[in-house]
Structure 1
Amino acid sequence: MKKIALIVTILFTAVQTYAQKIGVVDTNYVLSKLPQYKEAEARLNTQVTQWQSDLQRLQAEYERKREAFENEKVLLLGDQLKLREKEVLDLETNIRNTIGGRFGSNGEINQLRSNLTKPYQDQIWNAIKTVSTKNNLGIVLDKSNNISVIFLDKKYDYTEAVLNLLGKTLPKAEEIKTNTRPGVNNTKGQSGKSGLKSKNAVMQQRKATATESADQK
């Protein structure tokens, strides 16, 4: 009986596993379609371009000073020679530190890009979970992460479903800009007007009281 129960359990598990629906989502495509991410990425790329220009100017300065030092060091003596040599070495060290600190594998650019994508990756993951629950998916593959999909029926590709869900839940870039414009919240202006009306009413009441007192006299 135990063997029969074990066989039934194995068969039931196999059937359940086989019955699970498998879906595919291209997370890189979804990420590239989010307007908020595209704007943030554009700002980061602008910063990277600026850093690259700064590095190129630094390298050009180093090459110029190194060449001048090589040509003139036979004429330099004592402290002057050491000072010029130190200047070239300091520039070389600065370039090396800049490349490693900003453009290296653990550099500032990679850290900024990781910080940039993480919030959106979390939102995409939550959307994938929602779509998976709605469509009874047991397994979801990310075809943007080096997964070779030889053939895929479109009905198993849930990329657009995830993107549409994010489009409904995330604020649009235009709405964010509108809400952050000065003067959108008119609460202060309304309260100012109410306060002005109250002051006018008090002044009128005081004038009326003064007039009545004068008449009585």
Structure 2
Amino acid sequence: MKNFKIVFTFVLFLLFSFSNAQKIGVVDTEYILNKLPQYKEAEARLNAQIDTWQSELQNLQAEYEKKRSAFENERVLLVGDQLKLREKEVMDLDKNIKTTTSLRFGANGEITKLRSNLVEPFQDEIYSAIRAVVDKNGLGIVLDKNKDNVISHLPRYDYTDKVLDILLKGSDKKEKTNSKGKK
């Protein structure tokens, strides 16, 4: 009888621990972002802005090289104030290039801010869709496949397509209401 109580307690403990086990799911946010047409449009606008800024910077760099070269060639001919003025022009242009590069392409530059403003609304939408999938499927933990935390997983634990379905259904509803409102 004593062994029966021990075995019964052990079986009861196992059943209780299995019933409280958390389900884990995996989502590929990069894949989801690449499937959203609005994200692709916003990313194309960002890339166009980056190309414009790079072009401006290249023009400034070319102007700097031209002025620096002219200054170096004429240096022996310049005297006093003329020398200081031309040297100051070249130095100011160099400083302008460095400032522009830092402001636009630096760690806290305009590109970083634009990129975060671009991605943030989509991340919020993805997070809301993930919350819906978590609630619907009773998941305890959801990992992002892109953060190098997931080494391997079975496809049945990948909820990427379910999250994408929720997002695409939401964007279809928005497009339908927008098209109805425009008519």
Provide TM-score, normalisation by structure 2: 0.85
**Aligned residue number for residue 32 of structure 2:** 30
The amino acid of 1:156's aligned partner reads Y
Alignment match, 1:58 = 60
Deviation at 1:168, TM superposition (A): 0.6
Unaligned residue ranges in structure 2 (runs of 5+): 1-9
Q: Measure, in 1, the Cα distance between the counterparts of 2:44 and 2:174.
A: 14
> What CA deviation, in whole Å up to 9, does each residue of 1:102-147 have, x standing for no partner?
0011110011000111011001001001001111101100111121
CA contact (8 A) 1:35 1:173 kept: no
Which amino acid is the alignment partner of residue 86 of structure 1?
K
User: How big is each residue's C-alpha offset from its partner over 1:62-116, in whole Å with a ceiling of 9 and x where there is no partner?
Assistant: 0111011011111001211111111101100000001100001111001100011
2:149 and 2:159 map into 1 onto residues whose CA distance is 16
Counterpart of 1:89 in structure 2 is 91
Change (3 A) 1:25 1:85: same
Cα distance in structure 1, aligned partners of 2:97 and 2:176 = 42
Q: Give deviations 1:36-87, integer Å, cap 9, x for gaps.
A: 1110110110010011011011101101110110111110012111111111
Residue 63 of structure 1 aligns with an amino acid whose one-letter code is E
Within the alignment, does 1:41 sit opposite 2:37 as a pair? no
Higher Cα Rg: structure 1 or 2?
1
SS of residue paired to 2:142 = strand
The runs of at least 4 aligned residues of structure 1 exceeding 4 Å deviation read 171-180
**What code does the residue aligned with 2:159 have?**
Y
Q: How many residues align?
A: 171
The CA deviation at 1:148 is 3.6
The counterpart of 2:119, out of the listed 110, 117, 121, is 117
Q: Report if aligned partners of 2:104, 2:110 keep a CA contact under 8 Å in 1.
A: yes
Cα deviation for residue 175 of structure 1 reads: 5.6
Check conservation: 1:23, 1:157, Cα contact below 8 A. yes
- One-letter amino acid of the counterpart of residue 160, structure 2: T
What is the rounded CA distance, in whole Å, between the counterparts of 2:148 and 2:137 in structure 1?
24
Match of 2:170 in 1: 169
Identical-residue share of aligned pairs (%): 58
Looking at structure 1, the residues matched to 76 and 127 of structure 2 have their Cα atoms a distance apart, in angstroms, of 65
